Amino acid sequence: MTTASIALVDDDRNILTSVSIALQAEGFVTRVYSDGEAALKALVDNPPDLAVLDIKMPQMDGLELLRRLREKSAVPVIFLTSKDDELDEALGLAMGADDYIAKPFSQRLLIARIRAILRRTEVAVPGEHGEAAPPPQPVIERGRLAMDPARHRVTWAGANVTLTVTEFLILETLAQRPGIVKTRNQLMDAAYHDDIYVDDRTIDSHIKRVRRKFRQVDPEFDAIETLYGAGYRFSDD
């Protein structure tokens, strides 16, 4: 079983070194980058299992790196932001990040977040090989939609649609019960950890991104309905 690879992108070499050593001690394979341009090319050409991006970097900052990465890849991303900088957090999550951690942070917390996301994407997590494997999750089929949680694979009328972990969880929550309205709070609970707080606009941004991705393969896609003042629902008609 291949060990999970983690890419670290930060212009602070002390952070790169200390976090890389901590992750390697936990059994992860690490790759480090101090330049956004070089990191973008590497993340697209040779995707890791997860990337940790710093927001505050010269030349290409973490938000721009994330924006350009999301045009080509759905690799899970945790981004590092300044303490109490809610604007960075909201922008990063709306642009497709899967989680965030405010600096200064504990390495134990970062490793816990990395493990949580990798478990959701069915990647081998070091130190957990002896645990009982969870039962396989059935493929969800709703009209032209097919979702395979075990493989994190989504198709629409047979065409592949690439979603981030967060986008996948939001769509999965809607598709599990077609026709049932899910509030934004319910979608947030499904997509984020208990200690991650996002506002309604972040969920709206994720929904817009999901719709846009589906319309790239089917311009007439309209299966995700907005019920103003209530939330969203999936229609498999």
Give the tens place of pLDDT for each residue, 110-165: 888 888 888 777 666 676 655 544 555 688 999 999 999 877 789 999 999 988 87
Rounded to an integer, the average pLDDT of 206-234 is 93
Give the up-direction half-sphere exposure of residue 216: CA atoms within 13 A in the CB hemisphere.
12
Residues 6+ positions from 173 with CB-CB distance below 8 Å: 182, 186, 187, 190, 191
User: H or E element: which one contains 137?
Assistant: none
Q: Is 12 helix (H, G, I), strand (E, B) or coil?
A: coil
Written as six digits, the tokens of 20 are 């890389």
pLDDT value of residue 191: 75
Pair type for strands 231-234 and 224-227:
antiparallel
Lay out the sheet containing 159-160: strands in order across. 140-142, 145-148, 153-156, 159-160
Report the sign of the C-alpha dihedral through residues 78, 147, 201, 112, in that order. Answer: negative
Written as six digits, the tokens of 223 are 């299966």
Rounded to an integer, the average pLDDT of 83-106 is 75
**Which own/partner pairs from 217-226 qualify as long-range (CB within 8 Å, at least 24 positions apart)?**
217/156, 217/157, 217/159, 217/160, 217/161, 218/144, 218/156, 218/157, 218/159, 221/156, 223/142, 223/143, 223/144, 223/145, 224/171, 224/174
Q: Set out the domains of the chain in order of their start, with CATH numbers.
A: 5-120 (3.40.50.2300), 140-234 (1.10.10.10)
- Whose tokens are 């690879």? That residue is 5
pLDDT value of residue 57: 84
**What value does the mean pLDDT of the chain take?**
84
Give the up-direction half-sphere exposure of residue 128: CA atoms within 13 A in the CB hemisphere.
17
CA–CA distance, 100 with 91 (Å, rounded to integer): 11
pLDDT value of residue 136: 59
Task: Encode 47-63 in three state secondary structure.
Answer: CCCEEEEECCCCCCCHH
